[in-house]
Amino acid sequence: MKYIMRGCLGIVLLLSAGCDLPTLTTVLATVGQQNITRQDVVYRIGIAKSYGHKQPMNEQALVYMIDDALTRQVAAKVGVAVTKQEVDALSAYLDKHSKTPKILNAVKWVFGDNADDYRRIYVIPRVLNRKLQAWYALHVSGKQRPQPEIEAAVAQSTGGQGKSAFDAWFRQQARALPVHIKDERLRTGVLKKFPDLWWLDSATR
């Protein structure tokens, strides 16, 4: 239970939620069939603090989690999945080759002994984003192209015009997924602070 104590002492106060354990499992938002809990937002705030953000916003942490949930479900829709071996490999790589080991250690401290949540929230999105962009480059952007052009599209999918095209495709795929922010305070805050978010039109009450 170490990670919950750390959250209560250092992060949960930012959410004005106290330290009652049920509050950490409260569902703040849903994206399709995926729940986003208060604990998830607490973790994201802890990660932001590990990177030096002195006053991370609850709303920004929730937006990150919603974006991640959209990515996971679009990836599942097109058959892109992350394997345990890929997650293990990236975790090991980060442990050995991180250019900012102090930040990585601070991030791990946020999760305490909960390695599953560390991988779910911090490691898996890094693997999944690259795999989904590579899938797009091969199956959408690179459809019916010669192999050299396909390889160039894969490289381009991480930035520039390729990234813009990927974003447009991704949004088209994700628009059918309902985003429901259940916490009224957070919903109001997201609408006020991030009025231009593309998925807000599907964020029902």
Predicted confidence pLDDT, tens digits, the chain (205 residues): 444 445 443 444 444 444 444 489 999 999 998 999 999 999 999 999 999 998 889 999 999 999 999 999 999 999 999 999 999 999 999 999 999 999 999 999 999 999 999 999 999 999 999 999 999 999 987 664 444 554 454 455 444 455 688 999 999 999 999 999 999 999 999 999 999 999 987 775 4
Q: What is the pLDDT of residue 120?
A: 97
Strand 203-204, strand 179-181: pairing: parallel
Question: Which domains are present in the chain?
Answer: 2-204 (1.10.4030)
Q: Which of 22, 25, 24 is nearest to 7 (CA)?
A: 24
Q: Are 200 and 191 in contact (CB under 8 A)?
A: yes
Three-state secondary structure call for residue 64 = helix
